[in-house]
Chains A and B, each alone.
Chain A
Amino acid sequence: MKLSSSEKNGVAILEPKGKIMGGPDATILHDKLHEFIENGIRKVVIDMGQVEWMNSTGLGILISGLTTLRNNQGELKLANVTGKIQSLLTITKLITVFEAFDSVEDAVKSFKA
């Protein structure tokens, strides 16, 4: 997994690319989220558009990210959730806790509302 990040209107946008799996990926994402929290950013959007695949450990990373942000009065939203990941979120019913949007813009906008 490769991870790039940007910021828009006080909302951090994370763009993972490739496969989100166990091992170092967990640490990278976890550290990044904590970095945001320390810098006072508590609104995060993860753009899933370029994620090819995610295993159960990857899913665990997302869940722990959401929990971490919520414990710090923040929120984690997903954007561009498609195909395989959409079905993964549906089966596990995580779709009921993650807000998912068709685009990053929509997700960012949703924070203002």
Chain B
Amino acid sequence: MDFLQSIITAIYFAFGGGLLFLAYTIIKTRFANRLNRITGIMIFFAGLGPIFIALGSIISPNVSSDAPFESSLIHNLLYIWELFFPSFLLFSWVFPVDRLSMRKFWRLRYLIFLPHIFHILLVIAFRNPEKLLNFLDVGSGEGFVSLILGPISYLLKFIILGFSLLLHSQETLFATINLIYALTAAYFIIRGRKLVANILLRNQISIIIWGILIAIGLYIIAFLIPEMFSMEIPALLQTVILIVALLAGGSSIGWSIIKYQFLDISLIVRQSLVYTISSGILVGLYILIFGQIDEIITATFGSKTNIVNIAFIILALVLFQPINSQLDNLIQKLFLKNRTDYRNIMEILSRRLISVFEPDQIRAMIEKTLTSTLLVEKIYFILFDDTLNEYALLPSHDYPKKLVISRDDLLLGGVGQLEAPSVIARLAEYREGSRLSEEMDKRHIELILPLKDANHLLGFLALTQKASGFRYSAEDITMLGVISNQLVTVLTNSRLYADSLEKQRLDEEISMARQIQLDLLPKCPPHSELFNICAYSLPSRTIGGDFYDFIPKNDGAFGIVIADASGKGMPAALLVTQIQAMMRSEVGNNMEISKALYNVNRHVVATTSAERFVTLFYGEFNPATLDFNYANAGHNYPILVRADGSHELLTKGGILLGAFPEAKYDKESVKLLKDDLIFFYTDGLSEAQNQKDEEFGEKRILEYIVKNRERTPADIVEGILADVRRFDQTEPPRDDTTLVIMKITQGF
């Protein structure tokens, strides 16, 4: 046996052994699965081929020349290998799409093995037809027995001769049969691929299909066609093609298992598969190198020594650990650190989910992860819809309509009881009469992943079976549990994010409302040498329920309004805006004061609820006559301070606006003189409180105004605000504060 021959033998052994191990692993991992069984059987027979060839090449040199290798028993056993073809055909019926379980006569499938079993028996039984014929000739003597046996023996001889003829042409005949099998199987596999939708499944299928088709194609070219047409092909070329074919077929399946979870073989098994293959390669390398060095040493020193062995053991001891760990890293990097490794999936998923707040994107990401890593066929989302305030089964490709699920739905209640992912079968008691349950059945749901936040059910994910047809393993369910917990966090964050966006939008709206409100206040008060007015308004929040206004009249007089709506913020602001418009409209229509307030009151009663009201003071000042006519609708009494320090309160009028539809408002008239002033204010000023809970109060206001009556209105506003701020330092101020001062500067 020369060097090349020994290398080839080693390679055959390695391939054969590898395939047998692969077959064993596949069958052992999931014996219950038909695809695993059939794939295992196919790979087993494929592995027998190279093993027999290797055995043959070891044995044949020792066989004497008169019994050539071709007729040896081991060579004839080689025909067992041909069972690969029917098992390949069988494989094409279950992969990538299981066609068998749908067929009525699927039990008949094993009939496809008959021709090959017949072939093996034929070859083994008739490998020496001459011997058989001789044996039958013993009976050809005289007498009764031979009379009967004679025709039978002739018949048998005839049959045997027929078989012998068949035997002579068997190689061509079975090469043709095998070719037909292989092409049929290839046809089924290629057709089946088109029926698969899952991307990951398509990947593994593509790799397997290409690997197997290349292998079969090469085999057809190198063996079947030459045998059919009795062509001669150099043995070395044949060997090389065969090795390439084995490499393509075996590694495509191995690669799919390791990289794409083909046959659902678990991580640990896949890992051990990788280690076995790599250590097989190492052992092979050792044998080759050892053999070569040994030969050189033997040739050099003339006798066998143990030195190589010892050296190798020492070397192995020293280098084993580093090589092993390097190999380990390499394997991790090449195969296991990918998207089928659970830790890796979780790591990638959580990194991506952090940056996503859009619920649609979150769902798409989860869907992609589950379909591409766990091979889940379809995923449906049942989530609580904030705008509907109900649970809804969200649209999918196959069911494009969104379905609202009643909160009382029995199955929904059942899902609410779950703490972890569960098969839907466990919720059997929650199914009768449930609409959701019907929908789940329609979609062939297998697994339910509850999404729970504390005790609140956000919804759940409904998963169909895996695209590969495998059940969910305990490992899968654990990971799905982790993913659903993470989804809960992400969904909650997304909601908080949406809320904060909403709040931001509201804040912007409010600041716009504030601007509108500021614009509604008069830019500057009316002014002339006869009088001097100063006004001030500050809402306690961004917008408020106070306002003042000056409304010009046709006769040169003008109206002064100060008002305070109950409550604060947006509701109060909306109410005062309405009142301000009404007042402008009434005064613009020259409505008499009492009538104006009567009308406004009726409007407010009609348009607001009973507990909302406005206190309002309205006065009309005529600079020509210095007459001041007013009506007070429940507002803090404005203070009229005379030049001599005496004062009166402008109390006359009626009840606050907005509560009683029939309320009437009395008008009162006062005559103003030079240096008189009127101080209008809202309760934000009088109800300012110090730390002892004392109010600033009307009394302090009155005292301040009387004392400072000779100052300008602007000075008084500034001064009293400063006093009040000293008294009550609450930030922001407790209430909206508005004040207006009108001072008569010239009298008649």
- Which residues of A are interface residues toward B (Cβ below 8 A)? 22, 26, 56-57, 59-61, 63-64, 67-68, 84, 91-94, 96-97
Contact = CB atoms under 8 A, between A and B. Distances in A.
B659 interface: yes
Contacts of B566: 56-57, 59-60
Contacts of B653: 93
Contacts of B609: 64
B634 A91 contact: yes
Contacts of B695: 84
Given A57-B611, A92-B656, 17 more contacts: A56-B567, A56-B613, A57-B566, A57-B567, A59-B566, A60-B566, A61-B611, A63-B659, A64-B610, A67-B659, A68-B610, A84-B695, A91-B637, A92-B615, A94-B655, A96-B655, A97-B655
Contacts of B611: 26, 57, 60-61, 63-64
A97 B610 contact: no
A22 B659 contact: no
A84 B611 CA distance: 20
Question: Lowest 8 A-B CB distances belong to which pairs?
Answer: A60-B611, A92-B634, A56-B566, A64-B610, A64-B611, A67-B610, A93-B655, A92-B656
Nearest to B649: A91
Contacts of B342: none
Nearest to A52: B693
A91 B610 contact: no
Contacts of B634: 91-94
B636 A63 contact: no
Contacts of B659: 63, 67, 94, 97
Contacts of A97: 655, 659-660
Nearest to B572: A56
B264 interface: no
B141 to A, nearest CB: 123
Given A91-B634, A91-B637, A94-B656, A63 B610 contact: yes
A26 B610 CA distance: 12
A57 B609 CA distance: 12
Contacts of A68: 610
Nearest to A26: B611
Nearest to A95: B655
B583 to A, nearest CB: 18
Interface in B685-713: 695
Nearest to B565: A56
Contacts of B378: none
A60 B567 contact: yes
17 contacts: A26-B611, A56-B564, A56-B567, A57-B567, A59-B566, A60-B610, A60-B611, A60-B613, A68-B610, A84-B695, A91-B634, A91-B635, A92-B615, A93-B656, A94-B634, A94-B659, A97-B659
A22 B545 CA distance: 15
Contact of B654 (A56, A91, A93): A93
A61 B613 CA distance: 11
Nearest to B653: A93
A56 B636 CA distance: 12
A60 B612 contact: yes
Interface of B: 564-567, 609-613, 615, 634-637, 653-656, 659-660, 683, 695
Contacts of B656: 92-94
B567 A22 contact: yes
A74 B655 CA distance: 21
Interface-centre pick from A61, A67, A84, A97 (highest chain B CB count, 10 A): A67
Contacts of B565: 56
Contacts of A59: 566, 613
Contacts of A91: 615, 634-637
Nearest to B545: A56
Nearest to A91: B636
Interface-centre pick from A57, A68, A84, A93 (highest chain B CB count, 10 A): A93
Contacts of B654: 93
B549 to A, nearest CB: 20
A96 B655 CA distance: 8
Contacts of A61: 611
B687 to A, nearest CB: 8
A57 B545 CA distance: 12
A98 to B, nearest CB: 10
A22 B635 CA distance: 20
A91 B566 CA distance: 14
A64 to B, nearest CB: 4
Nearest to A93: B655
A36 to B, nearest CB: 17
Contacts of A26: 611
Contacts of B610: 60, 63-64, 67-68
A67 to B, nearest CB: 4
Contacts of A67: 610, 659
Interface-centre pick from B609, B613, B653, B683 (highest chain A CB count, 10 A): B613
Nearest to A90: B651
Contacts of A94: 634, 655-656, 659
Contacts of A84: 695
A16 B634 CA distance: 24
A64 B683 CA distance: 21
Contacts of B637: 91
B224 to A, nearest CB: 90
A63 B615 CA distance: 13
A91 B697 CA distance: 13
B518 to A, nearest CB: 22
A93 B651 CA distance: 9
Interface-centre pick from A26, A59, A91, A97 (highest chain B CB count, 10 A): A91
A91 B634 CA distance: 5
A44 to B, nearest CB: 15
B158 to A, nearest CB: 110
A21 B11 CA distance: 92
A57 B566 CA distance: 6
Contacts of A60: 566-567, 610-613
B737 to A, nearest CB: 14
A2 B671 CA distance: 48
A81 B564 CA distance: 23
A26 B609 CA distance: 13
Nearest to A87: B698
B325 to A, nearest CB: 68
Interface-centre pick from A61, A92, A94 (highest chain B CB count, 10 A): A92
Contacts of B564: 56
A67 B610 CA distance: 7
Contacts of B683: 56
Nearest to B734: A55
A67 B608 CA distance: 13
Nearest to B605: A67
B567 A92 contact: no
Contacts of B655: 92-94, 96-97
A105 to B, nearest CB: 28
Contacts of B612: 60
Contacts of A93: 634, 653-656
Contacts of A56: 564-567, 613, 683
A96 B615 CA distance: 15
A68 B610 CA distance: 9
Contacts of B613: 56, 59-60, 63
A73 B112 CA distance: 97
A57 B567 CA distance: 6
A14 B128 CA distance: 120
A70 B177 CA distance: 103
Nearest to B665: A93
A64 B613 CA distance: 10
A33 to B, nearest CB: 12
Contacts of B636: 91
A91 B617 CA distance: 11
Contacts of A64: 609-611
